[in-house]
Amino acid sequence: MVIREIAENCAWDQAVSLDKHIIRSVPIGENQYGHMQFDTERTEIGEAVFQLKYRSDFTQIEYLATQIVAAINSEGFQKIDVVIPMPASRVRERQPVTEVARKVAELLNAHCSEDTLVKVKSTGVMKDLTTYDERVSALNGCFEVHDTINEGLWNVLVVDDLYDTGASLEAACSVLRNYANIKSISVIAMTRRH
């Protein structure tokens, strides 16, 4: 695991990614449907995220959650009171990031709030948008905060699976900044594109 700080941003107080997602990916030719296939080598964290998201291997939850907690402890994060999963771009029966966020909250003895940060507008799959500006435009008005956290000032952790341009996290955390019950916002992305 090669933890890297995510660039400072007024939307959050502290942010890190646990590791790169992919080490290398080489095209190996098209399949029978004309889709390019790749020989891909991922980091250990990247492989766990891939198996969880795209192979529905929910045994990866424990591993990913313990790695997040280890990063919180090693990077000097504040005590986390509330864990908030980043809303998904795609509907699944079980949302991988939400499942990991629940386990992280359990390990930290914190509250997991799955309905505080809500995606109210579909953006499609963000990885299909290539530039930061395209993503910012697609994300305009995309997130809302619902008043679901008990009164007080709480340190929240936003959990996401992949950090690329940061547009999604910035949009989500900017909306959270306006919520009176939040004292500080920390972010952990399980993987990063670069």
| The pLDDT of residue 37 | 82
What does the mean pLDDT of the chain come to?
Answer: 86
Per the CB < 8 A criterion, the answer to whether 167 and 140 are in contact is no
Distance from C-alpha of 177 to C-alpha of 47, rounded to nearest angstrom: 32
So what's the pLDDT on residue 6? 84
In DSSP terms, which residues pair with 189 in a beta bridge? 17, 160
Identify the residue with better confidence: 135 or 96.
Answer: 96
Give the pLDDT of residue 180: 85
Domain of residue 26 covers: 4-192
Q: Give the CATH number, domain containing residue 123.
A: 3.40.50
8 A C-beta contact, residue 138 and residue 124: yes
Least confident segment among 81-90, 125-134, 147-156: 125-134
Give the mean pLDDT of 67-85: 92
The residue whose two tokens read 């009164």 is: 151
Q: Where are the beta strands (DSSP E) in the chain?
A: 4-5, 14-20, 22-30, 36-42, 82-85, 111-112, 117-119, 143-145, 154-163, 182-192
Report the domain count for the chain: 1
Local confidence band at 129 (pLDDT 50, 70, 90 cut-offs): low
Residue 124 has pLDDT above 70, yes or no: no
Q: What pLDDT is attached to residue 155? A: 93
pLDDT(2) > 90:
no
Residue 144's CB: how many other CB atoms inside 10 A? 13
At residue 35, the pLDDT reads 87
**According to the 3-state scheme, what is the secondary structure of 92-112?**
CCCCHHHHHHHHHHHHHCCEE
Check whether 127 has a pLDDT greater than 80.
no
Average pLDDT of the residues in 8-22: 88
Mean pLDDT of 110-114: 93
**DSSP assignment string, 52-72:** HHHH--TTHHHHHHHHHHHHH
Q: At residue 71, does pLDDT exceed 90?
A: yes
Is the pTM above the cut of 0.75? yes
Q: Provide the pLDDT for residue 126.
A: 57
CB neighbours of 148 closer than 8 A, spacing ≥ 6?
Answer: 113, 115, 116
